[in-house]
Amino acid sequence: MHHPGTHPELARWVAGLVARLRGELEARLGLELPSPLHVHLAPTDRHFEETVRALAGGRSPPAWAQAVAIPRAPALVIRLRGLQPAGSGSLATVLGHELAHAALWAVGPELPRWFEEGIAQWAAGERLEPLVRNRLAGMARGGTLPALQELERDFPPHAPEAQLAYQVALAFVDWLAERGGPERLRAVLGRAAAGAPFARAFEEVFGAPPRGYELVFREQLAAGFRWWVELARLEAVLALAALLAIAAFVRHRRRRRRLLAQMEQAERPPVQGGPAAREEQPQSPCPR
């Protein structure tokens, strides 16, 4: 465990979490994690980038990456800034995802990127939210869902497109696990780790090539599209936009009133003399 010395309690907690996740992931994937495995906690963006470059032979991490697994080290580098308290962006989930990558090093670099990322997310317990799944279903129905062949070697470099690629990979692997069972995924990994090409290992286990399963997956995903779910999401977005517009209008009105009050005060003529001055002025004689 490597850290700059500013987070000793967190480092101890992460060390215990790594020990627990190691056993869970090895059982889920049927693969052993490398030992020793170095885990680096980077509290700042600069520390994260410098650590990754030092361990990866000068290569910089993607700007949107929360963590990186580096086989040649072997090490995991985790950016602490930006972690969420729970969910897919939590430290436990991110660490589980990267540990799964470390276990997949035993298979070698031949795995398609979509399968490796999908397996890593699935093994870490990540699942798609219903709204995200429905959005993917809408894209499958409209013919705009990225094909797995487009994600064979690498993911898009920009955050929105990369996020979509991760979601597609997880959706397909999760569908495979539901359809064929986790034991089939472990069997594919075992055959690939033994030296079989991925395509052959997949077809031997599932009985058809990945492309055949992808066609069925896309068809079933498209059939599950629910237009009212998307409509509810759009209504929520529009309602939020309306609230923001109202709040902006109220702020504008308040600023305008303050400005008008200041302008009116500036244009008002000064009072000639204060109360004391008025009291000292001589009184006109009363007529007798």
Break the chain into its structural domains and give their ranges: 1-106
| Cα–Cα distance for residue pair 241/260, rounded to 1 Å | 28
* Closest among 48, 74, 71, 72 to 61, alpha carbons compared: 48
- Residue-level pLDDT at 269: 66
| Cα–Cα distance for residue pair 175/162, rounded to 1 Å | 20
* Closest among 66, 84, 11 to 41, alpha carbons compared: 11
Bridge-based pairing state of the strands 75-79 and 38-42? parallel
| Cα–Cα distance for residue pair 78/65, rounded to 1 Å | 9
- Residue-level pLDDT at 29: 96
- Residue-level pLDDT at 285: 47
- Residue-level pLDDT at 75: 96
pLDDT digit of tens for each residue in the chain (288 aa)?
998 887 789 999 999 999 999 999 999 999 999 999 999 999 999 999 999 999 999 999 999 999 999 999 999 999 999 998 777 789 999 999 999 999 999 998 889 999 999 999 999 999 999 999 999 999 999 999 999 999 999 898 888 999 999 999 999 999 999 999 999 999 999 999 999 999 999 999 999 999 999 999 999 999 988 755 555 555 555 566 666 767 777 787 788 778 777 777 777 666 555 554 444 444 444 454
Q: How many CA atoms lie within 13 A of 26 on its CB side?
A: 10
How does pLDDT run across 116-135, given as a tens digit for each residue? 999 999 999 999 999 999 99
| Cα–Cα distance for residue pair 181/162, rounded to 1 Å | 27
Residue 79: its H or E element: strand 75-79
Q: How many CA atoms lie within 13 A of 142 on its CB side?
A: 10
Beta-carbon contacts of residue 188 (< 8 Å; ≥ 6 apart):
198, 201, 202, 205, 206
Torsion of the alpha carbons at 31, 36, 42 and 46, rounded to the nearest 10? -100
Tokens 């279903």 — which residue? 137
- Residue-level pLDDT at 99: 97
How does pLDDT run across 164-195, given as a tens digit for each residue? 999 999 999 999 999 999 999 999 999 999 99
- Residue-level pLDDT at 265: 77
